[in-house]
Amino acid sequence: MIIASQKRKENIAEYLLYMWQIEDMIRANNLDIDKIRHNVIDRFPVAEEVKSQMVGWYESLIDMMRREEVVQKGHLQMNRNIIGSIADLHRRVMADPRFVDYHKEFYATLPYIVELRAKAGDEPAGEIETCFNALYGWLVMKLRHDSISDSTAKAMEQIARFTALLSKYFHLDEQDRLFKDDKDD
C-alpha cells in the first residue's frame, strides 16, 4: 500500500511490476490475510494504525482476486486497465512523428518483443504487455538469483530502456504535458 502509492506517483512501470509481485505474494500466502500479516505486514516498521490500513488494503485485493477469478493466475482488472492505458499511450506516441527518439527505442526493442511473443506459446499478448511480462520474468529470475545469459541481459536492458521512456511519457501525459503543443492550436 505504502510502496504501491509511491511507485504509482513516480513510475507506472515499477508500479505495475510491483502490483504483479503483490498478486503473486498474495497467492504464495494462499490468499490468507493472517499469513500476509505475519509474513509481510508485521515486518514493516510502522504504527499499528498504518498496519491496520495495510490489512484493509490486502483484504480488498484478496477480495478482488476472488471476485475476478485470478486466484491461481492472471492479473486484477485494475492492473489490466493500466496495461491498456500504457498500450494506448504507446499507440498515440507511435502515431505522432514528433517522437523520433521514442520510435527509435521501440524499433530497437521490437526484435526482442517478436522473439518473446514467439516463445510465449500461450495466449498472445500485445507488444507492451510482452515487455512487462519479460520484465517481470527478469525480476523474478533476479530475486531467485538465477543465472541470466548475456543475450537475455542485453534484451532486458533494451526492454527496460524502452519501458522507462514509455513510463516517463505516461507520467507527462497524466500531467497533460506530453502532447502540450496539440492544445496550443
Residue with the three cell numbers 497533460? 176
| Residue 50: CB atoms within 10 Å | 14
Query: What is residue 185's predicted lDDT score, i.e. its pLDDT?
Result: 47
**Cα–Cα–Cα angle for 88, 93, 94, rounded to 5 degrees:** 95
Query: Both ends of the chain: CA-CA distance in Å?
Result: 41
Q: What is the mean pLDDT of residues 154-181?
A: 94
In angstroms, the CA 73 to CA 65 distance is: 10
Radius of gyration of the chain (CA): 18
In angstroms, the CA 179 to CA 96 distance is: 9
Report CA 164 to chain centroid distance, whole Å: 11
Report CA 156 to chain centroid distance, whole Å: 14
Higher-pLDDT residue of 185, 83: 83
Q: What is the tens place of the pLDDT at every residue in 25-72?
A: 999 999 999 999 999 999 999 999 999 999 999 999 999 999 999 999
Please say whether the beta carbons of 63 and 11 come within 8 A: no
- For residue 48, which amino acid is it? E
pLDDT higher than 70, residue 161:
yes
pLDDT higher than 80, residue 120:
no
Single pTM value for the model:
0.89
Write out the three cell numbers for 52: 491496520
Report CA 180 to chain centroid distance, whole Å: 26
pLDDT higher than 60, residue 92:
yes
Share of the chain above pLDDT 70, in %: 95
